[in-house]
Amino acid sequence: MSSSLLKLDQVEAYIQKFHILQGVSFEVEKGGVTVLLGRNGAGKTTTLRTIMGLNQVGKGTITFNGENIGDLQTHQIANKGIGYVPEDQGVFGDLTVGENMRVAMKKEDEETTRRMEWVLELFPDLKKFWKKPGGALSGGQKQMLAIARAYVNENELLLIDEPSKGLAPIIVDKVTESIEQMKENTTILLVEQNFMMASKIGNQFFIIDDGKTVHKGQMEELKQDKVLMKKYLGIA
């Protein structure tokens, strides 16, 4: 597995005048789930936003499929085949579930329809509340909608930011299961604080601390490494 889909090399980024990312480097290989770990405020969300072009890249390079995407605009980056599920889900509250999906669908061809059907089967709730405004959904349903929106187009890579945040355990299981199914045919970069979830679906991991990548490895190893977990993640 040497073909890397996404590669960040010493990426730095500012929010206003604050130097938030101070050297983030990692590679996401094709297939599987790469997990970004790190405590609150470490810079995980900022990393995803910087990949999406929502924050400007100050220094360093971001390559996707061998192409430098660091200078592209957000919509161009998305159209290269990256789907984004933000931390706050970004559901359009006044639009119905159906309309939310419609905004997301770039094409109305067979493939998109097929993916749509597949994802609705995965999340039957969405079908059930098709005409309900996005703002009226429960937290779990919003999360499902956001994931469905990112999945419905033929994206090669999905960036998913803390999908388990604020969800009841039983819903977390549901979301975990759905991501596991998606990883069959899509590469996923997952930010996750819920270690149970991360360790269940993750293949490799990177740890970000204070805006820098400080560690990487296979998920299997991390589970054994209590010292590392305590040091960077605060989990004993």
Ligand X SMILES: Nc1ncnc2c1ncn2[C@@H]1O[C@H](COP(=O)(O)OP(=O)(O)O)[C@@H](O)[C@H]1O
Binding site for other proteins (CB under 8 A): 52-54, 73-75, 78-79, 84, 86, 90, 92-95, 99-100, 102-106, 149, 153
Query: Residue 68 or residue 79: which is nearer to other proteins going by CB?
Result: 79
Q: Nearest distance from residue 152's CB to other proteins, in Å?
A: 10
Task: List the single partner that 46 binds among Mg ion, ligand X, other proteins, none, CB under 5 to 8 Å by kind.
Answer: ligand X
Task: List the single partner that 124 binds among other proteins, ligand X, Mg ion, none, CB under 5 to 8 Å by kind.
Answer: none
Q: Nearest distance from residue 217's CB to other proteins, in Å?
A: 29
Q: What is the DSSP letter of 134?
A: G
Total residues in contact with Mg ion, by rule CB under 5 A: 2
Q: Which residues bind ligand X (CB under 6 A)?
A: 15-16, 18, 20, 38, 40-46
Q: Return the SS3 of 94.
A: coil
Question: Is residue 135 a contact partner of residue 165, using CB atoms and an 8 Å limit?
Answer: no
Q: Nearest distance from residue 147's CB to other proteins, in Å?
A: 13
Task: List the single partner that 113 binds among Mg ion, ligand X, other proteins, none, CB under 5 to 8 Å by kind.
Answer: none
Query: Residue 2 or residue 17: which is nearer to other proteins going by CB?
Result: 17
β partners of residue 11: 24
Q: Where are the beta strands (DSSP E) in 95-229?
A: 157-161, 187-191, 204-209, 212-218
At how many degrees (to 10) do helices 97-104 and 139-151 cross? 30
Q: Nearest distance from residue 114's CB to Mg ion, in Å?
A: 33
For residue 95, give the nearest of 61, 131, 62 by alpha carbon.
131
Q: Nearest distance from residue 191's CB to ligand X, in Å?
A: 7
Tell me the H-state helices in 89-233: 97-104, 110-122, 124-128, 139-151, 169-182, 195-201, 219-224, 226-228
Q: Where are the beta strands (DSSP E) in 16-94?
A: 18-29, 33-37, 57-64, 67-68, 82-85
- What span, in angstroms and rounded, lies between the C-alpha atoms of 181 and 175? 10
Instruction: Give the residue, chosen from 34, 45, 187, 204, that forms a contact with Mg ion under the rule CB under 5 A.
Output: 45
Task: List the single partner that 15 binds among ligand X, Mg ion, other proteins, none, CB under 5 to 8 Å by kind.
Answer: ligand X
Query: Residue 55 or residue 176: which is nearer to ligand X going by CB?
Result: 55
Q: Nearest distance from residue 100's CB to other proteins, in Å?
A: 8
Q: What is the DSSP letter of 233?
A: I
Shortest Cβ contact with ligand X: which residue? 45
Element (H, E) at 15: strand 4-15
Query: Residue 37 or residue 52: which is nearer to other proteins going by CB?
Result: 52
Distances (CA, A) of 43 to 20, 22, 122: 7, 9, 31
Residue numbers at the binding site for Mg ion (CB under 5 A): 45, 87
